[in-house]
Structure 1
């Protein structure tokens, strides 16, 4: 659809584009109607002829990632929760700068084993996923070694209501919040808490998301996982993270909010 719009905006007909590109007119039609996936070379030729080369990078990223962009949780999890946890290890190992925003649960890299187990048990119950929770917990705990790599940086934002949402039971939650205080003291970690009741300006709460370097954004929807690699879309999530970080508190004020959540557990 976007390629058709680019062609029309340029004033070229489908026949003229095909002639200039040196391919059959039916190829242009097949690409525009989604019957044939364009190659990287096709996209570069298309945007060059239509004088829209500034859109080339975004279009190639979209074409490469379209099949894996939106995947239902049930499809991701049907091979087991352990396999799903293992599948992201290469991404975590190659990323240098992480940005995590969580409006649902504590970020996975800062979770205790018991908290993770409670989260994954809920996944099994709600989505009928295979019950290999213990194995999946072990993989996630092992993944936390990236926090100690020494060359990676982690910026994490958590809504205050996440601290007040009891996952598991009171004992599990108290231990998790205590662990959060210690984990936030690691030199590689910046933890911001967005207080309830604060004037947010443009920093509206949104779905949980992660940004890996400036190359990929992953979004957690209720029914599916969304992976974005288009530079323009990734930049939107970077901008959103920046806006949210401006209303967060850090250091001692953040620790006070965590401590208050522990006290509220009684």
Structure 2
């Protein structure tokens, strides 16, 4: 997980989002329309098809209208019952593309937090340029173990996951070794809000902010902070990660969106450049972080007392 909680961030998407979640809904609707075509070609009503498959009648309607995602077995049963077995492989390919694009956290994390960390290692290895924007959390590759533990604990509570938090923290820390590889470049842009949100104890946050200052001085890491007083050129709707020009990863509360269409990558690449253009870097960025640390220090002292 590149960023936020036990997942990666937990962001909300904009109501007018033209990619990501809307594309997922469109893909599910297209699949449903194809299923309806096969049923109609077979001359069956929805009730007749449901009875032949021992399904409740409502399931056929939900699948055809894109309100429910079918399983592999659902599609195999559908093509068998509509005498369209030659369509099975194409339908399965469409389904699996949808599953890659929109993966629900409950399914991704059903075996625990650490396995998903390990899945991201392959992308870390092949990616040369990492670009990340976060509005509310510190990116995973920049997190201290204590901050990461707080994020993972949130995910465990939210999704009632197996508690492998120690292994997950160790996995995240191990993945951070990639920051020290000279063949990789990192460009992080954070809002000042991400530095101030109380998502962990004050002393943990102070340690996290101090680490940000240290990492900002690595030769292959560029850290930008968008201060509260900044005039935005584009709205900071939600966090996202760009892996080279191959993939965009976005978190919602319920799922991870994995976008690979060229137009989507171009859209998010443009948004990142606009957000990066208004960020402060170097001494100016560290000044913002130090200001936040000064504001937080009294609370840390009280917490320690």
Specify the TM-score bucket, using the shorter chain as the normaliser: 0.7 to 0.9
Checking the alignment, whether the CA contact within 8 Å between 1:218 and 1:228 is kept in structure 2 is: yes
Aligned match for 1:250, one of 271, 281, 296: 281
Matched with 2:15 is: none
Task: Give yes or no for contact 1:102–1:158 (8 Å, CA) kept in 2.
Answer: yes
Query: How is 1:73-222 mapped onto 2 (pairs within 5 angstroms)?
Result: 73-201=105-233, 203-222=234-253
Aligned residues: 216
Structure 2: state its 5+ residue gaps.
1-25, 31-83, 299-305
The runs of 5 or more residues in structure 1 that have no matched partner are 5-30, 41-61
SS of residue in 2 equivalent to 1:191:
strand
Equivalent residue number for residue 264 of structure 2: 233
Partner of 2:3: none
Q: Tell me, in whole angstroms, the C-alpha distance in 1 between the residues paired with 2:200 and 2:271.
A: 30
The RMSD of aligned alpha carbons is 2.3
Alpha-carbon shift at residue 64 of structure 1 (Å): 7.3
Q: Distance in 2 between matches of 1:238 and 1:38?
A: 31
Aligned equivalent of 2:291? 260
Shift of 1:166: 2.0
Specify whether residues 246 and 223 from structure 1 end up closer, same or farther in structure 2 by C-alpha distance, changes over 3 A only. Answer: same
Superposition TM-score, scaled by structure 2 size = 0.67
| Structure of higher RCO (CA pairs closer than 8 Å, 6+ residues apart) | 2
Deviations 1:37-69 (A, max 9, x none): 2899xxxxxxxxxxxxxxxxxxxxx89733210
TM-score, reference length from structure 1:
0.76
Separation in structure 1 between the aligned mates of residue 157 and residue 280 of structure 2, nearest angstrom: 35
Runs of 4+ in 1 over 2 A off after TM superposition: 34-40, 62-67
